[in-house]
Structures are given as structure tokens and as C-alpha cells.
């Protein structure tokens, strides 16, 4: 028998006491009570009646559950119906007065409040880690969730509150099925799993966000339009994260789009989140590069260590094997204990292969795998995410170097603010550190600059560089002042002689601009005259203002505004 009702309902008190008497007198009688607050009761009543096809509108509600035969149960009704049922079947009646019923109802209400507070206190002692995965419909997400909820990533004692979000909203049934399958895993650390429909709900109070959204370039979409679409999408994510997520949230961006650029845009649009908390995944490309080396040397891929991916992960990048080592190589001479390693480049012993064919094999690895499988390589992508999150949360193996795209602080000549794949190590406290003592050859430096140029190309689509100042346009024929025609005069020496005298005196010939502007300042200041003075101390004749002002090949006409003397007379006196 199930009795459900509001905690403050006096009729619930009468029904409960009748039920307690039946349970006490009938050993096989089973009684279950459901008490709801006054606020919870209307929605609970509507939900139960909707699921079972009942029509009931008051408190309490009593029904029989057919445990031995199954089914939806048999509704008995309210308080009066249950009293008649008990009197008819068992011969019992309630002698509870109305005053006692109200008194017990008040006590029940108070007890319900105290029980709810205790339950909230118990739940508050366990604070699950809020984790969100976007792009929930992707195969990578499907392969990732088991590890996230099992304790493999965040530790065996950390409970998980998991949020799933997909911005397409085109297949709600698929995401609902994913949620049910995660529940079917029966993971003890999974406290809550939710499918949410907005970024604000998805990122609320999150400590870890895994971004799997892939915005791929469409067939006829221009490159600039594609980059701007990514900028808008991930900038919106970052704005919401900045508003509702925890301030120490860690954001891992993965996928096949321009993830370095997307991460940089998220950093710019989340100013209150530390920029070191936004990273882009290089581990997938690094693992593929290790796998090709493992095949070449016939060793386990996990035995290849310290291989570094520099640059733009899904764009122009450089795979560095100069410091890479391999464990477990089966050479002619026994290699020693498991900790012993040898150089990858020495064991490959084919520099041309490393510089050309090796890079081609790595860059074509994804296509080769997916062609063989007939679907995307989701398992390896999920595994790279799992190992990266595990190292970020608990620290990377001591002495090993891994690749991670992080916000540059100027390391290795990369401009500050660019998200660049570097060699890093990770501490158990959850911090990454760029390895800064890598020796780069001149050839490697050139290749790193090429990767920077690739990142700059993406960046300048949104933030174009300032244009150089436009040079002044040449004057049009209408703007050019026509020079007056030169006339010959027997009373005045030609201007060329005056110019020559000015040159002998140390003065320069007027420029075209001076010729074009009759009001321009006349050359030949006192300072210039002093600088051109004869070092012997003898005074040298200086040209007059009229001589300086007369253009070459042109005689002076009229009086000079600076003097009333005749120009010809001044020239003769000189």
C-alpha cells in the first residue's frame, strides 16, 4: 500500500495512522509513505496521474502496488476512500478527532522540513565536479564519457556532475539515448547527468569544459568567411564561460578546425579567466607521429617519448624528433632495463626519410585510418583527450615532455598572445610549464617562423594590420601654377648669373615647391650666412632677397616686398 500526500495535510495524518495499524497487525502488509512539501505536491500529483492514467486532485492519494503481478497499480482514492476500504476489508476505523488531525499535520510539516535540511547537508558534504562536454553528438564524445565517469581521469574519489550540450539541436533523441547509455554504465562516481539546450546552462559552475565542436569549411565558403564564422562561434562560447563558469575553469579545445585560432579568440573574450586555463589539444597529432615511428622501429607506440609538435596543430606545424627517444627497442645488443632509451633519429638512421616520407605518413594518417575503418577514428581521439586531461589534472610522467597548444608569452620568438603548440610538462597541482631549454637549429627556427606566419594569416582576418599611410597624389594639371614667361633685358643681368653667384655664396637653388608658391619663405637666413662665412674671417657678399626669390631662367619684375631697391642695381652692386 502506498500513501502519498502534502506534509501539512491533516487528512494525511489520519490515513498514516490507519496504515500503521494495518502494518502492525498484519505481518504481510507492506506500507510505503511519500511525503511532499506543499510546493512540490501539485507537480508530483500531476506527474503521477499522467503516468498512470488516474484522475485525482487532492491530498492524500492512496493506491495498491501489485508487486507480485506487476502493472500500474490500483488507485484507491483519497482519505475517505481509504477509510471505507480499511473498514470494509479489515474492520478498522479511525477515532482521530479533527483537532488531533490538525496537530499531527503541523508536526508532520515541521518534521518534513527538518528531514529536508538534513538531506541537503548530507549532499552538501559531497561536491561533485561539474564537467561539460560540447559537441555531444560527435563519436569522440561517445568514446570519451566512460573514462570521464569512471574515476580514470579525475581520480577514484571525485564524483561527477556531467552536462552534455550540442549546438545543432537536430537530433534530441540521439543525445537522450547517449544519456541513457551513460546511466547504463552504472558508474558509482556519476552523481548527475544532464542534457542541456543552452550554453549558459551547460557552462554554469563548470570546473572542466571539453569543447568538441567542429565547424568545417564548406565547399564554396571563402577562407575569410570561414575564419570569421569560427571567431563568432567560439567568442560566444567564451563570453558565456566568462559569465557563468567558475573562475578557475579549465577549457580544452579539440577538433579538426582551426583550434589554435579558436582558443585565441576564447582567451580574448574571457578576460576574467586566466589565459593559461585555455589550451588546444596537440596530443592526437603527437600520438599519430609516435605511431609512425613505432611502426618503423617495430616497438610499442607508448615506448616513443619526448616527440614534440610545434606550431598550428591543424595547420602549418613542425614535428620535432631531435630529442625523441624510444624504449624497448629490440636491437642487436640488449638495451638494458625498461628505463633505458635510445635516440629515435639514431635508430631510424635515415634523415631523408624523417624529413619527407615520415611527415607525409603522419599528415595522411587520419585519412588512412578512417578509410580502413569506414568511420571516424573516434577511439584514438578520445584517448588523446583522456591522457591530456589526466596529466592536466594529476601531472605528467616525471621526465617526459608532451605537446600542448598554449598562449605564448614570447617563448622561442613566437609573438605574445598567439596560441602555439609547445613542448610542456605538467605538475601534479594542475599547471603546465613550457620547456624553454630546447636547442633549435637555424633550419628549425625558419620552420617555426613559417608556422607563425600561418597563425598570423588567420589572426589578420579578424584583426587586419594597419595600412601604411597613402602617399599624396601628384597635382593635377589644373592645380599646377603656370610660370610667367621669361623676358630679356639689357639693363639687368640674366638670372643664371645671379643663381651662380648664390651658389658661390653657399646658397642652394630654390626647389620646385618654392617656385610653385610665391609666398613661400625665402632661403638664406642669418644662420645660413654665418655657416657659409669665409673661415679666414673675410666678409663675403651675400645674395639679396631678390636674387634668392627669382626662379631660375626668370627675370625679376617689379619691386620686391622686402626692399625698395631696384633688383638690377643690387646685382650690379654685388
Q: What is the pLDDT of residues 212-261, one digit of tens each?
A: 998 988 888 999 999 999 999 999 999 999 999 999 999 999 999 999 99
pLDDT in tens, 155-185: 998 999 999 999 887 777 888 899 999 999 9
Side-chain-side CA neighbours of residue 220 (13 Å):
0
Mean pLDDT of 32-52: 90
Task: Characterize the bridge pairing of strands 432-434 and 419-426.
Answer: antiparallel
Q: Which of 257-271, 319-333, 416-430, 451-465 shows the lowest per-residue confidence on average (mean pLDDT)?
A: 319-333
Q: Which residue has the cell 500500500?
A: 1
Judge contact between 81 and 54, C-beta under 8 A: no
568: Cα separation from own chain's centroid? 81
CA pair distance 392, 249, nearest whole angstrom: 12
**Average pLDDT over every residue of 442-461:** 94
Alpha carbons 337 and 87: distance in angstroms, whole number:
84
Q: Does the global pTM surpass 0.85?
A: no
Angle subtended at Cα 204 by Cα 202 and Cα 205, rounded to the nearest 5 degrees = 130
Comparing CA positions, the residue from 94, 109, 116 lying closest to residue 38 is: 109
Report whether pLDDT(146) > 80. Answer: yes
Which is it for the CA torsion 236, 238, 239, 240, positive or negative? positive
C-alpha cell at 392: 592536466
Separation of alpha carbons 181 and 501, rounded Å: 102
Residue 120 exposed, middle or buried by CB count within 10 Å (0-12, 13-18, 19+):
exposed
- Percentage of the chain lying above the pLDDT 70 cut: 80
The 10s digit of each residue's pLDDT in 109-139 is 888 888 888 887 776 666 899 999 999 999 9
The number of residues in the chain equals 574
Q: Where are the beta strands (DSSP E) in 417-479?
A: 419-426, 432-434
Query: Range with the lowest mean pLDDT among 118-127, 412-421, 557-566?
Result: 557-566
Residue 532 pLDDT > 90, yes or no? no
pLDDT of residue 119: 80
* 127-280 placed in CATH 3.40.50.720: yes
Q: What percent of the chain has pLDDT over 90?
A: 52
Is 206's pLDDT higher than 60? Answer: yes
What pLDDT is attached to residue 533? Answer: 37
Nearest Cα residue to 314 out of 505, 409, 451, 116 = 451
Please give the sequence-ordered ranges of beta strands (E in DSSP) within 174-286, or none if there are none.
190-195, 208-211, 250-253, 278-280
CA-CA distance, 45 to 526, in Å (whole number)? 105
Q: Which of 3-17, 84-98, 302-316 comes out lowest in average pLDDT?
A: 84-98
Give the pLDDT confidence score for residue 91 in this predicted structure. 85
| Residue closest to 498 by CA, chosen among 560, 570, 566 | 570
CATH of domain 283-462: 3.90.110.10
The pLDDT of residue 480: 56
291-295, 343-347, 447-451, 519-523: which has the minimum mean pLDDT? 519-523
Vertex 427: Cα angle to 234 and 136 (nearest 5): 30
Planar angle of CA 398, 401, 403, nearest 5 degrees: 140
State mean pLDDT over 399-405. Answer: 95
Rounded mean pLDDT of 7-23?
A: 89
Helix/strand/coil for 342: strand
pLDDT value at 502 more than 50: no
Nearest residue to 567 via CA among 244, 554, 201, 485: 554
Amino acid at each position: 500500500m502506498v500513501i502519498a500526500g502534502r506534509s501539512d495535510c491533516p487528512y494525511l495524518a489520519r490515513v498514516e495512522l490507519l496504515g500503521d495499524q494495518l502494518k502492525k497487525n498484519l505481518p504481510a502488509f507492506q506500507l510505503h509513505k511519500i511525503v511532499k512539501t506543499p510546493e512540490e505536491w501539485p507537480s508530483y500529483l500531476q506527474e503521477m496521474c499522467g503516468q498512470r492514467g488516474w484522475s485525482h486532485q487532492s491530498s492524500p492519494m492512496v493506491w495498491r502496488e501489485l508487486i507480485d503481478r506487476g502493472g500500474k497499480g490500483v488507485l484507491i482514492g483519497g482519505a475517505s476512500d481509504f477509510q471505507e476500504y480499511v473498514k470494509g476489508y479489515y474492520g478498522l476505523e479511525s477515532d482521530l478527532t479533527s483537532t488531533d488531525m490538525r496537530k499531527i499535520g503541523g508536526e508532520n510539516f515541521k518534521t518534513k522540513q527538518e528531514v529536508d535540511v538534513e538531506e541537503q547537508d548530507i549532499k552538501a558534504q559531497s561536491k561533485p565536479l561539474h564537467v561539460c562536454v560540447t559537441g555531444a553528438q560527435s563519436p569522440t564524445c561517445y568514446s570519451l564519457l566512460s573514462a570521464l565517469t569512471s574515476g580514470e581521469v579525475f581520480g577514484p574519489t571525485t564524483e561527477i556532475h556531467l552536462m552534455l550540450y550540442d549546438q545543432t539541436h537536430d537530433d534530441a533523441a540521439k543525445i537522450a539515448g547517449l544519456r541513457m547509455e551513460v546511466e547504463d554504465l552504472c558508474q558509482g562516481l556519476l552523481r548527475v547527468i544532464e542534457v542541456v539546450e543552452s550554453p549558459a546552462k551547460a557552462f554554469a559552475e563548470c570546473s572542466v569544459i571539453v569543447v568538441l565542436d567542429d565547424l568545417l569549411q564548406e565547399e564554396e565558403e571563402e577562407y575569410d568567411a570561414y575564419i570569421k564564422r569560427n571567431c563568432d562561434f567560439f567568442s560566444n562560447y567564451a563570453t558565456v564561460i566568462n559569465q557563468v563558469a567558475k573562475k578557475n575553469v579549465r577549457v580544452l579545445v579539440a577538433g579538426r578546425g582551426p583550434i589554435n585560432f579558436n582558443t585565441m579568440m576564447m582567451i580574448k573574450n574571457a578576460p576574467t579567466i586566466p589565459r593559461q586555463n585555455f589550451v588546444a589539444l596537440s596530443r592526437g597529432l603527437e600520438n599519430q607521429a609516435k605511431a609512425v615511428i613505432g611502426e618503423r622501429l617495430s616497438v610499442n607506440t607508448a615506448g616513443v617519448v619526448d616527440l614534440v609538435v610545434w606550431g598550428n596543430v591543424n595547420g602549418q606545424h613542425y614535428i620535432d624528433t631531435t630529442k625523441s627517444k624510444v624504449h624497448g627497442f629490440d636491437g642487436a645488443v640488449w638495451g638494458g632495463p625498461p628505463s633505458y632509451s635510445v635516440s629515435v633519429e639514431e635508430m631510424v638512421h635515415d634523415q631523408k626519410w624523417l624529413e619527407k616520407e615520415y611527415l607525409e605518413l603522419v599528415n595522411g594518417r587520419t585519412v588512412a585510418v578512417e578509410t580502413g575503418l569506414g568511420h571516424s577514428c573516434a577511439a584514438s581521439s578520445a584517448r588523446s583527450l583522456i591522457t591530456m586531461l589526466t596529466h592536466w589534472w594529476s601531472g605528467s610522467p616525471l621526465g617526459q615532455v608532451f605537446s600542448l597548444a598554449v598562449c605564448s608569452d614570447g617563448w622561442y620568438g613566437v609573438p605574445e598572445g598567439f596560441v602555439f603548440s609547445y613542448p610542456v610538462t605538467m605538475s601534479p597541482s594542475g599547471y603546465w610549464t613550457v620547456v624553454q631549454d630546447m636547442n633549435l637549429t637555424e633550419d628549425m627556427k625558419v620552420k617555426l617562423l613559417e608556422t607563425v606566419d600561418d597563425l598570423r594569416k588567420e589572426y589578420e582576418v579578424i584583426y587586419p594590420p594597419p595600412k601604411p599611410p597613402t602617399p599624396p597624389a601628384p597635382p593635377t594639371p589644373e592645380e599646377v601654377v603656370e610660370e610667367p614667361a621669361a623676358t630679356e633685358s639689357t639693363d639687368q643681368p640674366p638670372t643664371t648669373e645671379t643663381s651662380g653667384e648664390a651658389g658661390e655664396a653657399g646658397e642652394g637653388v630654390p626647389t620646385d615647391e618654392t617656385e610653385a608658391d610665391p609666398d613661400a619663405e625665402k632661403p638664406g637666413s642669418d644662420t645660413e650666412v654665418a655657416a657659409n662665412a669665409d673661415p679666414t674671417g673675410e666678409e663675403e657678399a651675400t645674395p639679396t632677397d631678390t636674387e634668392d626669390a627669382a626662379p631660375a631662367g626668370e627675370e625679376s619684375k617689379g619691386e620686391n616686398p622686402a626692399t625698395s631697391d631696384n633688383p638690377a642695381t643690387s646685382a650690379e652692386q654685388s
